[in-house]
Amino acid sequence: MFYRVIGLMSGSSLDGLDMAFVEFEESGGKWNFEIKAVQCKPYNAEWLEKLQNATSLNAYDYLLLHTAYGQYIGEQVNEFIAENDLHHKVQLIASHGHTTFHAPQFRMTGQLGDGAAIAAATEINVVSDLRAMDVAFGGQGAPIVPIGEKLLFSDYTLYLNLGGIANLSCKTKVGYIAFDVCAANRVLNLLAQTDGKVFDDGGAIAASGKVYTPLLTRLNALSYYSLPYPKSLANSFGTDEVFPLINAFEISNADKLRTYAEHVIMQIAYSIQKLCADNEIRNSKLLVTGGGAFNTFVVQRLTQSLQPLNVEVVVPDAKLINYKEALVMGLIGVLRWREEYNVLDTVTGAIRSSIGGAVWIGQEA
């Protein structure tokens, strides 16, 4: 079976709307894919402000934004289709939306971007609300990417996404384990913006600084890190808890960046070390994707930190680095359309695996 899908992702780093047009082929339970076209549509200042401040809105204005953002997504998809000559070639759109509220302990997660608005704007069938079913079953609703790692990247044992939040997946004999490790680019970018930069290109500012041990000690003592997996983080962890903690220390911004980069590396290395101890997965390959994979300083330090475990760090081509999550959202949408499990209970802690996603029929009957 062939499926031609546009996968959409807006991550917590707020760098833009990622779009990937992918052709999937399934034969005898084996999946192959080809990424045919990609684009990241950066948010302008107006949309950046709207998304950053969404959680402070009252219920009425929040729902208006939910609809408006869905319309915006639909318009961006229409432009993407026109620019890449994809008219009448797209069978399905799978939209993750932009996460605002995430409280799985109350069986609630919220992503902006009304699927009905996207379907109406594009007149293409849409799958949205990809995390809600898992959360309703008592799961964390995150990470949801491991189903794509299982079906599309089976050559690896470990998978690291360095996005606004760093999350880690591991293939074991009893199933997939995955969890959010720590806030990553969301905090690193905020620190870089203090120096007037959008982000710390290649980790150059961090590399020029020094690790400040008192701050590193406070960061590593945050209670989240002692929780067992499955576990997940809301965007507010980085912005409301970590960033103010860092700024409470009167040190140079370069030292703040260096210290926080070291904290991210340490938490990832600690997590992998525990996974190796629990699951006997030494001598493995780690696939690193997400915007942080371009941070050469962080990748180099991570490579050094994992050498004692004989874990090989693999950074793929730029297209996969940038669009792996959009790719997997497309696959999750296809699996929902096929009414097959697309979220794994071993990853999220739900009472069972689930078929997640709301379907909106945009095409004419």
Question: Does one domain contain both 40 and 94?
Answer: yes
Residues 131 and 6 in one domain: yes
Assess whether 282 and 161 both reside in one domain. Answer: yes
Q: Report d(CA 115, CA 97) in Å as an integer.
A: 9
What DSSP assignment string belongs to 245-275?
HHHTS-S-HHHHHHHHHHHHHHHHHHHHHHH
| Residue 11 and residue 156 in one domain | no
Same domain, 83 and 126: yes
Q: Are residues 298 and 157 in the same domain?
A: yes
Q: Give residue 110's pLDDT.
A: 96
Say if 121 falls within a structural domain. yes
Same domain, 154 and 251: yes
Give me the tens of pLDDT residue by residue for the chain, a chain 365 residues long. Answer: 999 999 999 987 788 999 999 999 999 999 999 999 999 999 999 999 999 999 999 999 999 999 999 999 999 999 999 999 999 999 999 999 999 999 999 999 999 999 999 999 999 999 999 999 999 999 999 889 999 999 999 889 999 999 999 999 998 877 888 899 999 999 999 999 999 999 999 999 999 999 999 999 999 999 999 999 889 898 889 999 999 999 999 999 999 999 999 999 999 999 999 988 777 776 789 999 999 999 999 999 999 999 999 999 999 999 999 999 999 999 999 999 999 999 999 889 999 999 999 999 999 98
Cα 186 to Cα 162, 214, 236, distances in angstroms: 10, 22, 10
Q: How many domains does the structure of the chain reveal?
A: 2
172 and 25 in a single domain? The answer is no
CA–CA dist 203, 201 (Å, integer): 5
Q: Are both 153 and 298 inside the same structural domain?
A: yes
Q: Which domain holds residue 108?
A: 2-139+354-360
Confirm whether 325 is domain-assigned: no
pLDDT of residue 282: 65
Same domain, 252 and 207: yes
Is 341 among the domain residues? no
- Quote the CA–CA distance of 168 and 181 in Å, as a whole number: 7
CATH number of the domain at 105, please. 3.30.420.40
User: Is 47 within a domain?
Assistant: yes
Q: Which amino acid is present at 232?
A: S
Alpha helices for 87-240 (secondary structure H): 115-122, 132-136, 146-152, 185-194, 204-208, 213-220, 236
What's the CA gap between 81 and 229, in Å, rounded?
40
5 DSSP β-pair partners: 22, 92
184/279 same-domain check? yes
Domain check: are 175 and 285 in the same one?
A: yes
CA distances from 252 to 33, 167, 206, 258 (A): 46, 28, 11, 10
Query: Does residue 328 fall inside a structural domain?
Result: no
Assigned domain for 333 exists = no
Residue 347 within a domain: no
pLDDT at 277: 78
In-domain check, residue 345: no
Element spanning 302, H or E: helix 296-306
